[in-house]
């Protein structure tokens, strides 16, 4: 069952990658990247169980934290062209 | 009794992976960005939730189980924030959502 | 002070969770790190009613989470059915309504809950005005004065 779940998650990532490649707007690509991040986190957890190495969960945790911060940072960069810009002075 | 919990966990795992696939299909099928967002949130809620529950049933009440709960909390608190930021940025950029006309049913 | 102590305990618990080793040296290092971070956060004035909300009505929170979970499962099932339906029966709608929460934290919890539920995404969030993109007309119609709105208002404490 773990192997089947791993395969299904890989297929999910492939489909999301297709959406990222198709676009058409930058937000579609970012949405796909966000989904890929979430699924990669789940994939890390499931794969850790598959190989009997639950310490993969730490990697999943860090990956999740970075994923959210990454998406928000890229969004901010696209909106203001500057990571340090003040939200109000748009 | 010791057999049934891991079995249920396996079922949850499969169901969660299935919902992830459904969400990815939605990501491809939906007509515009805002509707795709709803498909992605199926992955982030039911897909992730069922997979983590399945793993939790296989792990039991250990440190590993606590870490799985932590990952679940992280997804459930952070993913709506990212979705909201995306939607708001898209709207501010002037990306118009495709809306259904008010009359047709 | 209650806030700082609660923050310290949360950090120490997080350390234990991540390390999973219980040797005296690592326990002491964890307690020291948690104490230092709590002290710095206190000096930076990060521990206010939003940074570490101990003032929420926690009884209501504990009954809110299972209810929210039930709602998420229901609407996720609905959205999955629509995705797999060959006719793709969706009617995207933008809906605007006035939430009844008074504090910023209550508004954020309400908006996050809306976004977390598949089929609705909160696009604009301000006091007294939510703009929500819904996948169906029924989803958009059931937003104003919903049970979620009432439950989120019950969580707040000034």
Query: How many angstroms separate the CA of residue B99 from the nearest CA in chain A?
Result: 17
Nearest partner of A6 among A32, A35, A40, A37, judged by Cα: A40
Most confident of A78-87, B80-89, B96-105: B80-89
DSSP-derived letter for residue A84 is T
CB pair distance less than 8 Å for B42 and C112: no
The answer, yes or no, to whether residue C93 has pLDDT greater than 80, is yes
Domain definitions of chain C by residue range: 2-43, 58-155
pLDDT tens-digit map of B16-74:
999 999 888 888 888 888 888 888 888 888 889 999 988 888 887 788 888 888 888 88
When the pLDDT of each residue in chain A is averaged and rounded to a whole number, the result is 83
pLDDT the model gives residue C32:
92
The answer, yes or no, to whether residue A90 has pLDDT greater than 50, is no
CA distance A68 to A8: 23
Interface mutation vs chain B, best among C17, C79, C113, most B CBs within 10 Å:
C79
Query: How many angstroms separate the CA of residue B64 from the nearest CA in chain C?
Result: 9
Nearest partner of B79 among C63, A74, C109, A71, judged by Cα: A71
Please report, for residues B88, C54, C103, C157, the alpha-carbon distance to residue C50 in angstroms, rounded to integers and kept in the order given. 22, 9, 10, 12
CB pair distance less than 8 Å for B10 and A75: no
Looking at residues C103-131, what average pLDDT do you find?
85
pLDDT the model gives residue A87:
54
Alpha helices, H only, chain B: 4-29, 33-42, 48-59, 63-92
Q: Which domain holds residue B60?
A: 4-92
Q: Is the dihedral of CA B78, B81, B87, B92 positive or negative?
A: negative
Query: How many angstroms separate the CA of residue B54 from the nearest CA in chain A?
Result: 10
Whether omega for the bond prior to residue B93 falls within 30 degrees of 0, making it cis, is no
Looking at residues C101-128, what average pLDDT do you find?
84
Residue A67 with chain B: CB contacts under 8 Å: 82
B42 touches chain A (CB under 8 A): no
The confidence band for B102, taking pLDDT boundaries of 50, 70 and 90, is low
Nearest partner of B43 among B61, B59, B66, B24, judged by Cα: B24
Closest alpha carbon within chain B to C120: B38
pLDDT the model gives residue C3:
83
Q: Say if CB A68 and CB B60 are below 8 A apart.
A: no
Placement of tokens 């991540």 in the chain: C18
Placement of tokens 């709590």 in the chain: C38
pLDDT tens-digit map of A1-45:
888 889 999 999 999 999 888 878 888 888 898 899 999 999 998
Residue from the list A25, A38, A54 with its beta carbon closest to the beta carbon of B44: A38
pLDDT the model gives residue A13:
92
Q: Say if CB C121 and CB C114 are below 8 A apart.
A: yes
Structure tokens given for C18: 């991540």
CA distance C13 to B73: 15
Number of domains in chain B: 1
CA distance B16 to B49: 7
pLDDT tens-digit map of C36-89:
998 998 888 887 777 777 777 778 888 888 888 888 888 888 888 888 888 878
pLDDT the model gives residue C82:
86
CA distance A24 to C138: 29
Residue C93 with chain B: CB contacts under 8 Å: 99-100
């Amino acid at each position: 069952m773990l192997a089947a779940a791993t395969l299904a998650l890989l297929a999910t990532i492939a489909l999301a990658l297709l959406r990222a490649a198709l676009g058409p707007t930058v937000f579609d690509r970012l949405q796909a990247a966000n989904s890929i991040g979430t699924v990669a986190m789940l994939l890390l957890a499931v794969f850790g169980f598959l190989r009997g190495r639950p310490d993969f969960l730490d990697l999943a945790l860090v990956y999740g934290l970075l994923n959210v911060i990454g998406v928000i940072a890229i969004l901010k960069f696209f909106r203001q062209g500057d990571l340090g810009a003040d939200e109000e002075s748009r | 009794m010791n057999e049934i919990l891991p079995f249920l966990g396996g079922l949850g795992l499969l169901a969660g992976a299935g919902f992830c696939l459904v969400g990815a299909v939605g990501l491809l099928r939906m007509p515009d960005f805002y509707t795709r967002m709803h498909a992605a949130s199926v992955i982030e809620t039911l897909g992730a939730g069922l997979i983590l529950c399945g793993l939790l049933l296989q792990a039991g009440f250990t440190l590993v189980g606590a870490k799985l709960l932590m990952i679940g909390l992280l997804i459930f608190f952070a993913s709506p924030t990212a979705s909201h930021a995306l939607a708001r940025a898209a709207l501010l950029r002037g990306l118009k959502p495709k809306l259904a006309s008010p009359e047709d049913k | 002070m209650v806030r700082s102590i609660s923050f310290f305990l949360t950090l120490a618990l997080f350390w234990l969770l991540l390390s999973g080793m219980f040797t005296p040296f690592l326990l002491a290092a964890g307690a020291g790190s948690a104490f230092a971070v709590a002290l710095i956060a206190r000096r930076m004035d990060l521990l206010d009613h939003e940074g570490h909300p101990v003032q929420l009505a926690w009884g209501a929170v504990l009954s809110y989470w299972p209810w929210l979970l039930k709602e998420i499962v229901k609407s996720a099932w609905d959205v999955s059915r629509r995705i797999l339906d060959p006719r793709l029966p969706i009617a995207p709608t933008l809906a605007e309504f006035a939430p009844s929460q008074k504090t910023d934290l209550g508004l954020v919890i309400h908006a996050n809950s809306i976004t977390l539920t598949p089929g609705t995404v909160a696009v604009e969030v301000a006091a007294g005005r939510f703009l929500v993109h819904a996948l169906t007309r029924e989803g958009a119609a059931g937003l104003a004065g919903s049970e979620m709105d009432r439950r989120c208002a019950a969580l707040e404490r000034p």
